[in-house]
Structure formats: C-alpha cells, structure tokens
Structure 1
C-alpha cells in the first residue's frame, strides 16, 4: 500500500521543529505531549527513519528531518490556501498588526502575501516599532496583534520560534577588545538593548554607545563597518560579521505572537495567528 502523508502529522512535526520542544509544541497545538510523540512516531514510520534527535532539554532535526521540513513547507501553505479558497473567501475584517523592524521583512515578504491572497477581504494595517512598545500598544488595545521578541518563558504568549542572541563584531577588526566597549544598540523598549547593557554592567565592562537606532539595518551596517559590536539573533549573522566569545552569555529569547484581549474571538486574527505559527522562520 502506498504511504500517505497525513497533514495533521506534518503540522505537528513543523511545530516541534520550529519550537524545539515537545512540551511547548504540545501546548501550542492544544494536544498532550504523548499525542505529539505519537504523531512524530507515525510520521517517522511513513518517512522511513528518525526525524528528530531528542534529549531532555530540546530536539534538533536529523538530515532526514531537514529534508522533510523543507519539502513540506509549501505543502502546508497549499493545503491551507485551498481550504481558504473553498470555504473562507467570505471572511472580511481589519487587522492592525505590529512587527519589530528586525522581523518586518520576513513577515511582510514571506507570510503576509499568502495570507492576503487567501483572505482578500481582510484589510491589513502594519506598524513597526520596538518589541516592548508594540506589546504596550497591544495591551492598551491600540493594536490587535503583534510579533515581538522577549526573554524566554514569559506567560501569555504564543511562541513562534526560539532564538539565540549572540554578540557580533566585524570580521577583521578587534572592536571587542576596546575599553570602553563600543556598542550599536537598538532603540529603547527593545529586549536586546536591555540585555546588552545590563549584562555588560553586571560583568564590570565599561561601554559607550556609538549608535542608537530603531533600524536593524543601521545596527548591522555599524557592526560590519567596524564601528561597534551588537547583539542579534544567531540566524541573522552576516558574512561580514563574526560571533564574539568572552562576553556575557545571553539566555535564549523567543519570538511570540501576542494579541489584545478584544481579539481572542476574532476569526481573522485567529487565522493570522495560525499563519504565523506555520510559516515563521529565522
């Protein structure tokens, strides 16, 4: 009998791969950890091998798992788009969405076009600002939803992906040995700015701010030009940067989808949350 890919198993696999933990993925999918494990086992039987390496702390993809993740991303998108075409084009509404500058390109280019095509009568209005400013706007009901970065483990948030902050400097300049340490910092109300300054002060390092900007591109340019060091997601390190050792270790952060209390029964926002869950990548 020909093997069949069950779309629910694939969706569970994507959640585990994206979040990196069975328990967190189970919570996000509203399933028990045991049910998630069974889904992965059934999918591994279809795939013909182990998809995940597991330990007590987290999971990582095997070579077969990476292949399956890449080859099924478009499958999930197509599946959801077909269902929307069949059943959902009547949905209308308006969503005010906040996105930090560092993730805006990914959200606008890779996620929102598919969502807008599936739900053409839902109007999207976007705002970029630092994460904590967006969180405040959501809590005050000025935005319906936002994608934000925050330290790992805070309550009342839908985790999209975990991320590891790393210190970066230019590839050929020993900026990190300077005293005081030159920094390119994000705007106020950014969790990375807070983590940078607090960790350096706690370690006794002197610092001076070379650049303060809400623009992720400006931060990167300052680092690549050899003017300063900064803190960014590991996945965003460019070829003109190097990851720096010898500086305070910053704990994992998470990228989350937060929503206002008034939007929890909003079908359009629910669908956008699903789209973010399925397609957010770093």
Structure 2
C-alpha cells in the first residue's frame, strides 16, 4: 500500500535532494525520513534512490513513482481543501423565464446542488417582466431571463437569434395576415416579434396567446399558427416553415442575470456558476 505519509516524504526528498533538508521541511528527524523511504521501497519492491556520502540520485523506478506520487498528493490536497471549507448553507430564491428553464438551466442547477447540497433552491418560473417586479420587491434573489427593452441592468449571459417555427411542413400564406401564437403581454419576445413585422410591413393576427413559451410551443405543435423561439431553446416536433426565408428575419435577444442589491453568499455563488456555464456566451443553432 502506498502510504500518503511516505509519499509526501518521498516527494519532499526528491525536491530537496537531501534527507536532512527534507526532514527540516517536514518537521522530522533524519532517521524518520530514512524510515519512511525504506518502508516505501519495501512496499513497491523497488529501490528509489542511489545514495553515497556526497550525493543523492533517483533511480528510474524512483522517477516513475514520483509521477504517481505527485498525482496522488495533488488529489489529496484538493480533497482536503474542499472539506476544510465550511459547507455552504442557506436558501437561494431564483426567478427564471420558462425559455431559460427549457435550455441549459437544469444542468447548472444540478451542478450547484451537487457542490452545495445544504443550500435550498426556491425556483419561480414566470414572465421576465414579472420577475423584474419580484426582484425589485425583494421576493427573489436572482433573475435569469431576457433583457427588457431599454433596460441596462444585469450581467449579459448569452445572445441568441429568434426564429420562426411551426408544425413541420407548414407553408405560410404570405397573402394573408400571419397567424401568430405569442406569449401574453408584457413579453420581450412578443414585443420584438411584432416590432419586426411592423417594420417590414407584414400583417398579422394573434390566433393564440399563452402565459408561457411552453404553451406557445404546444399550440404551434397543434398547428394553430406560427410562433417564435430563441435558437437556444429546444422545441421538439416543430421546425421552421417551408418558406421561412420569405418571412422577416427576427433579431437577437439577450439573456441576462440580474441580482438583488444585497446578495447572500449562496446566491452569489450560484451567480458565479451561471456566468461560467453554458448559459454564458453567444448561442447559435447549427
């Protein structure tokens, strides 16, 4: 068995090139250092050093063992460091739009839960505008959603293009008002879509209104009309209309994280994880 104490002594001797100096660094006398090396050599069945009165050199087996010793000692240091830290406790009240919840958010939450199992997560899924209200009222700690038109607050996470989707095989009659399935007001996506249509001179008719993007996707899957989603969001059973190239191109939307003025340590930790996750960057479908 490779005793970690012997491995640490061995690694220190190789760095110092001296049993005496290694003993000083480790707070051991020279006889203890020699004993650790002797027992390590017996354990691996190989000679690790060649010594005389003036020099100390590693054997080939010693050099090979040093590679493994460093890996083992580094892993031990990481483990000890993790468990020396106090476990994070508390509660994080996270508000998220449902399109983010349909994307990479579950992976982020799983990673946070794995790293901090003692932190309680309280998740509110709702319209971005409603989440802004909850944050300003102090009812949630973090908001993850689309940046509101004209809003400057928040840390940008990603930009993603909006795209038209409908039941597969749909051909849009461009001589008629576009049949739309949209999220209810106030909605960033709804405003962006209607602005784009107005600028290009397209007429429309809102066939169905839903309180969530998931509801819009379900209605579009049922063939009620066109809807728009970020390319970041999965929408199985839907695809761009056959003549989507004739429809007005939709702009990018920006997803952000917005934190309360006074952020708890658990909430700040989750914010850091969000900023370093797949939610951060520029996302375009292939």
TM-score (normalizing by structure 2): 0.62
Question: May I ask how many residue pairs the two structures share in their alignment?
Answer: 200
For residues 48-77 of structure 1, the C-alpha deviation after alignment (integer angstroms, 9 at most, x for no partner) is: xxxxxxxxxxxxxxxxxxxxxxxxxxxxxx
Is 1:177 aligned to 2:180, yes or no?
no
Partner of 2:165: 168
Partner of 1:261: 261
Residue pair 1:132, 1:148 contacting (<8 A) in 2 also? no
Is 1:232 aligned to 2:229, yes or no?
yes
Gap runs ≥5 in structure 1: 1-80
Partner of 2:206: 209
Shift of 1:194: 0.9
1:212 match: secondary structure? strand
Residue pair 1:135, 1:148 contacting (<8 A) in 2 also? no
Larger radius of gyration: 2
Partner of 1:137: 134
Partner of 1:42: none
**C-alpha root-mean-square deviation of aligned residues, in Å?**
2.7
From 269, 272, 278, the counterpart of 1:271: 269
Residue pair 1:101, 1:214 contacting (<8 A) in 2 also? no
From 156, 159, 181, the counterpart of 2:156: 159
1:173–1:92 distance in 2 versus 1, CA, 3 Å: same
Partner of 1:241: 239
1:86–1:150 distance in 2 versus 1, CA, 3 Å: same
Residue pair 2:257, 2:271 contacting (<8 A) in 1 also? yes
Shift of 1:83: 9.0
Shift of 1:161: 1.4
d(CA) in 2 for partners of 1:108, 1:198: 28
Which structure shows the bigger proportion of residues in helix conformation? Answer: 1
d(CA) in 2 for partners of 1:127, 1:179: 39
d(CA) in 2 for partners of 1:234, 1:84: 40
1:106–1:168 distance in 2 versus 1, CA, 3 Å: closer
Residue pair 2:96, 2:123 contacting (<8 A) in 1 also? yes
Residue pair 2:166, 2:225 contacting (<8 A) in 1 also? yes
